Amino acid sequence: MGWWSKLCKQAQDMEQEPLLIFKENHSQWYVATTRKPLYKKHMYINWLGCYVTLADKFLENVEKFNNVRNMFGYTGTYKGKRISVMGSGMGMPSIGIYSYELYKFYDVENIIRIGSCGAYTDALNLYDVVLVDKAWSESSYAKTQEGKDIDETFPSKELNGKLEAVAKELNIPLHKGTIHSSDVFYRENFDVFNKIRDDHGCIAVEMESFALFHNAKVTGKNAACLLTVSDSLVTHEATTAEERQNAFTKMMDVALGLAE
Write out the E strands in the chain: 19-24, 28-33, 60-66, 73-78, 81-86, 110-119, 129-136, 152-153, 174-181, 202-206, 222-232
The residues, ordered by sequence, that sit 6+ positions from 218 with a Cβ below 8 Å of its Cβ are 145, 146
With H, G, I as helix, E, B as strand and everything else as coil, classify residue 8.
helix
Cβ contact 244:117 at 8 Å: no
With H, G, I as helix, E, B as strand and everything else as coil, classify residue 5.
helix
Pairing of strands 152-153, 129-136: antiparallel
Q: How far apart are CA 108 and CA 244, in angstroms?
A: 27
With H, G, I as helix, E, B as strand and everything else as coil, classify residue 220.
coil
Greatest alpha-carbon span in the chain: 58
To the query of whether residue 128 is one of the catalytic residues in this protein, the response is no
R_g over Cα of the chain = 19
* Spatial CA neighbour of 128 closest among 188, 75, 39, 204: 204
Q: How many Cβ atoms from other residues are within 10 Å of residue 139's Cβ?
A: 23
The single residue of 122, 151, 191, 231 carrying the catalytic annotation is 231
Strand pairing partners for 120?
Answer: none
Q: Which residues are catalytic?
A: 231
